Chains A and B, each alone.
Chain A
Amino acid sequence: MEKSLAELNKAGSRSTSSLPPEPVDIIRSKTCFRRVRLNVGGLPHEVLWRTLDRLPRTRLGKLRDCNNHETLMEVCDDYNLEENEYFFDRHPGAFTSILNFYRTGKLHMMEEMCALSFSQELDYWGIDEIYLESCCQARYHQKKEQMNEELKREADNLKDREGEEFDNTCCAEKRKKLWDLLEKPSSSVAAKILAIISILFIVLSTIALSLNTLPELQGTDEFGQSTDNPQLAHVEAVCIAWFTMEYLLRFLSSPNKWKFFKGPLNVIDLLAILPYYITIFLTESNKSVLQFQNVRRVVQIFRIMRILRILKLARHSTGLQSLGFTLRRSYNELGLLILFLAMGIMIFSSLVFFAEKDEEDTKFKSIPASFWWATITMTTVGYGDIYPKTLLGKIVGGLCCIAGVLVIALPIPIIVNNFSEFYKEQKRQEKALKRREALERAKRNGSIVSMNLKEAFARSAELMDVVIEKSERPHDNHLSPSRWKWTPKRAASETSSNHSFNAHELGSPSKACATSPQRLNVQKLEEMYNQMAKTQSQPNLNSKDRASRVIKHRDEIELGAIQDRGPPVLGTREGVGDMKSLSSIDSYISCATDFQENTRFPHSPAMDLSLQESKRLSHCPVTALSQHGSAKTGQQTTRELEPMLTPMSVTKPSCSENARKFFFSGNSSKSLIPKVGCRSDGDSGRSPLSDSSVLSDHSLLSPEVSIYTTASSRTPPKSPESTTLAPSVFTFHDSSINKYIDADTDDDEHLRDISDASPSDRLLAGSSPKHSININYQRGANHLEAAQKMLGQNCLFPLEGIRGLAHENHISHEMTHRPKVERGRQNTLDKGL
């Protein structure tokens, strides 16, 4: 951690304080050294420039061709010309083998390396996996295919689970409850009891079926033929009634009728019920004696089909299900087994036929007749009804035994392997599901949240010094106000023209300072929590859950805020709590850039205007000033609205959050109604722009989309943020996080990965909260310095990122206004793109 921080410091110092080196310097350093030091993930490698030239189109080859700062920063994460060192923040283990590829022209793979991460590394270094040497390729592709299969299966599972979404057509809630009751025995006690009763009925009906065939219990009908025992018939009827009811209820409550009908388990259920009804139908409809014999035969067949109900047990047993799955998956091997057996039977039966056919009174009358013998011998059952008698026949028999043992034993391990793999997987999934449920429950109760906060607090204490130090450097004079992240932002936007107004609004400056560390902590924790939750947020988590969790969390924060602060700052407290809670919700729910921007600066017109049309930005300062004054009143109104808002948000889950956000922003800028209108205009007008916001809208409705939303939209806001302090070193990390989350759908595992895993991961975990702090400092400071300009900058860059080339002229215009921070930012902006 120390090391990474040191590096971070170095990087930060270079690109923010000192100017980037001239192209001439870079070229000079490249020409005067024959070798180059590549620092990959902390592990230095020394290599000749010549070696890197061998593959000019890869990342390292490009490094050779880069002659100015921007392109260089695009290729590597950091560099130091004096020491001739280039830093890449990647896994060092994989890099050794990749560097060897440059040296020897042969790409080999480290044995202990995970194939997936290796392929990612290859992607990063710009090397095609096809170059992998054949000795390692087998392993690589095998693993990759395996992983892909697993991922696909996981995705299918997810889809299944999502497929259970109930549309609100008719009494959806009741149906969902019924469905849970019938399909998920682990969901409640009642469901468990229901499952046990169902099992008992299955067992009972099977017992009744077998008892029915006992001659002592059978009665005789008028034709002198045996019929069912009347008591057992009653039992049978009751069981069938239960099964029918169960099936119908399931069918009615199922979210997707056709899918339900097709499901293998449900087909079995249907097959278990139908024979009974068909039997009744046939016997009732054909009373005439003429057809009676035929009907009886059909009825007998259907009676046999009743045995199928024993398969209903599969619903209640994972083992049976995995057996079925294994057989389905290894039908290739099963075919092989049958082929082997068939060939063996054919050969040995014909051999024994030719050996035995001249014997007196032999039972091997023909080859098909001796099939039976061969089967019984090869499977080593050996009834003894047919056995060879001649010497030749006995020799053939002995060979047949041994061959049978061999042939049966050979393909079975493969099937067994399949089975055990699947069984293990099934077990793992069950456990993971349980763990996930437990985690969710805990989160809902709030126990995990507080733990996370505590953890984050500990981490923040570590990071605090560094962060403060860093933020001090560029914005020395604004240190103390910049500490109150959300508050000053508002205050700043309100009072950007008048600094003292800020103090007036929040109470005396000294008071504010006294409370600031406390508030900072709380806010930081909250922010960290947001950040962490963002990184942890698994795609399959419904946004409903998220929203509810946020609400819980918000309540807690508010409570904490009340406890923390003394009565003297009561006036401030409410406002802060309100803003904080709102912002937490906002940043939580809307991972999308636009939302974040919109709601974080709810009454900053510069922002909104810049969102709409960049042309209008020329009017920005004027409107901004006029609206800042009114924003103050807006805040006061919010404070009044606060108690009203809270219950509303609690009662109304996911979707209302979104609406409320707008509602709030509307309120806060009561006098800014035209502005709000403008924004909505902008929303409708900038269709390519609002993509991510629209997506996040969707994300509230369908969790599937939210996967992509979180991944795609999280990158833009981060890239400008990380620019300001730790340029470019973490930009890549962010996208890797996203990728990582995308790939990993299992929440727990992800958590664990973050906590233990590789050092780079730890770095990630550490860096993300850091980011957030940095952002907020930066923002706060920006506001104090020059609110409108910075606001414009802050929101414009991601916007530009999305818009692309359309408004380039506008950017150049803007650049003249703020030459200072620009270069570093733009740089990473490119990168972020």
Chain B
Amino acid sequence: MLNRYPESRLAELANCSTDNDEVISSLCDDFDPNRKEFYFDRDPDAFKCIIDVYYFDEVHIKNGICPICFIKEMEFWKIDQCVLDECCKSYLSEKEEELTEISNKVKVILEDLEVERCITRSQRCQRFLWRLMEKPESSLPARVIAIASFLSILISAVVMCVGTIPEVQVTDAEGKLVEHPTLEAIETACMMWFTTEYLLRLASSPNKLHFALSLMNVIDFMAIIPFYVVLSLTYLGTTSMMELANVQQAVQALRIMRIARIFKLARHSSGLQTLTYALKRSLKELGLLLMYMSVGIFVFSALAYTMEQSHPETLFRSIPQSFWWAIITMTTVGYGDIYPKTTLGKCNAAVSFLCGVIAIALPIHPIINNFVVFYNKQKVLETTAKHQVELMELKSGRDMRRKSRN
């Protein structure tokens, strides 16, 4: 029976059960030749599960045993991990994922901690700058900088909005409305701040390419670049190297890009980061949501169009036009610019509304779930990582003590 898995510890023990004491004692912890008893100093609960492999060829983790711990036991008994059944494997992988996350977090914290390890002075300077810009909790100046950049984002966003109000705008020489000069000055100041911030970050980052490609910094870049493009374009326009009308159109288009700076807020809010993470994790569900919606829109707009044909003053003039109606109805917004007038059309509208509610509610649930899980995990991770670091410190302290004692 034990020989079914010749690699395993028990099988080896069975094979060498001739009176070779050394081999036996290397395999088990204690041996009583009188009673023919082998003693293993291991967890009995886990062994009960592991012994199953000889009977059923598969191992199930008993409820309550930590899977990581169980894997260690399996290694001791020299049982391959692949005999672990699928149902328990998923549980295990979940735990392992969590562990890697924690270890990553710990690594980040440890990186923060070991500051003055850098050799050259420039490196130390770079590291200092990096912490100043990226780790708001590390020191007071870093926090001040974080708050300042947060405020500048808000100010620039407000300025952008206020600048579009006709009453605030002033007319320029050609009788066109342009932004108020003070607002423009504020805008420029904010842009200067963003630029310096970005450049400092870039300069201090240990890995330039990695930095440039990370999402947050791409957003930063997107927020800055339109300003300079507009500047250069207007310069080109005034020096009549390009046609003025084209320049103005391009400038208008680029103004939309300014919105990107709102996303810069994500850097300062863990909630927003969680949102992006949750959305990233649940792309499938988002696709599902969009698919449900588009199917519903197609079906109900077509239905509404055909049903409303009988009415002489119908608002549904074509199927693409009634798409809009379908969206507004299914999301329960209901502006009332287009609405059905025939009885059949009204019935159809009611059904489409119901379907819309269901179509939205169903895929949203997993997304929300992802969000909540991640949100809670974020909180837990923080404490765990902290404890882990503490443990490491404790262990290193003990090692030091031991060394000194030796």
Contacts and interface: CB of A to CB of B under 8 A. Distances in A.
B95, B252, B271, B394, most chain A CB atoms within 10 A: B271
Interface stretch (B13-21, B162-170, B200-208): B162-170
A382 B63 CA distance: 51
A230 interface: no
Interface residues of B, number: 71
Interface in B30-83: 30, 39, 41-45, 63-69, 72-73
A94 B276 CA distance: 41
Nearest to B169: A366
A24 interface: no
Given A104-B69, A354-B256, 7 more contacts: A100-B69, A134-B103, A366-B161, A366-B165, A382-B336, A402-B331, A410-B371
Interface in B110-152: none
Interface stretch (A340-348, A599-607, A646-654, A735-743): A340-348
B310 interface: no
A347 B259 contact: yes
Contacts of A346: 157, 161, 259, 262
10 contacts: A130-B390, A350-B160, A351-B256, A366-B166, A397-B328, A402-B289, A402-B293, A407-B275, A410-B368, A411-B271
A417 B69 CA distance: 32
Contacts of B289: 402
Contacts of B224: none
B375 A384 contact: no
Interface stretch (B1-9, B298-306, B379-387): B379-387
Contacts, number: 188
Nearest to A378: B333
Contact of A100 (B43, B262, B364): B43
B41 A47 contact: yes
A405 B331 contact: yes
B48 to A, nearest CB: 11
A135 B293 contact: no
Nearest to B333: A382
Given A350-B161, A410-B275, A134 B99 contact: yes
Interface stretch (A107-115, A455-463, A578-586): A107-115
A349 B162 CA distance: 12
Nearest to B69: A108
A131 B391 contact: yes
Contacts of A137: 384, 387-388
A351 B160 CA distance: 12
A412 to B, nearest CB: 8
Given A110-B64, A354-B255, A413-B368, A347 B69 contact: no
B269 A414 contact: no
Interface string A381-397: 11110010000001001
A130 B392 CA distance: 10
Contacts of A377: 333
By secondary structure, the B interface counts as helix
Interface in B304-346: 324, 327-328, 331-337
A48 interface: yes
B272 interface: yes
Contacts of A354: 252, 255-256
A404 B98 CA distance: 31
A410 B281 CA distance: 14
Interface string A309-348: 0000000000000000000000000011001100100110
B232 to A, nearest CB: 21
A563 B365 CA distance: 70
Interface in A410-429: 410-411, 413-414, 417
A108 B99 CA distance: 14
A141 B360 CA distance: 37
A195 interface: no
A397 B328 CA distance: 9
A219 interface: no
Contact of A138 (B72, B269, B384): B384
A409 interface: yes
Contact of A347 (B99, B262, B367, B380): B262
B69 A133 contact: yes
Interface string A120-138: 0000000000111111111
B372 interface: yes
A381 B331 CA distance: 10
Given A108-B68, A380-B331, A401-B327, A48 B41 contact: yes
A35 B160 CA distance: 78
A347 B160 CA distance: 11
A109, A135, A365, most chain B CB atoms within 10 A: A135
A366 B164 contact: yes
Contact of B161 (A99, A141, A368): A368
A34 interface: yes
A96 B48 CA distance: 13
Contact of A136 (B66, B328, B372, B394): B66
A64 interface: no
Given A354-B256, A382-B328, A387-B337, A339 B271 contact: yes
B84 interface: no
Contact of A343 (B262, B335, B384): B262
B29 interface: yes
Nearest to B339: A384
Contact of B66 (A135, A340, A417): A135
Nearest to B98: A135
A95 to B, nearest CB: 12
B190 interface: no
B192 to A, nearest CB: 22
B349 interface: no
Given A138-B384, A368-B162, A35 B271 contact: no
Interface string A601-645: 000000000000000000000000000000000000000000000
Contacts of B41: 47-48, 51, 103
A46 interface: yes
Contacts of B44: 45, 96
A96 B73 CA distance: 14
Interface string B151-184: 0000001001110111000000000000000000
B372 A413 contact: yes
B265 interface: yes
B10 interface: no
Contacts of B258: 350
Contacts of B290: 402
Interface in B241-284: 252, 255-256, 258-259, 262-263, 265, 269, 271-272, 275, 278
Contact of B265 (A96, A104, A343, A365): A343
Given A350-B256, A353-B164, A103 B68 contact: no
A241 interface: no
A204 interface: no
B334 A367 contact: no
B102 interface: yes
B335 A135 contact: no
Contacts of B67: 135
A376 B98 CA distance: 40
Given A51-B41, A382-B335, A414-B375, A141 B384 contact: yes
Contacts of A131: 391
A513 interface: no
A50 to B, nearest CB: 8
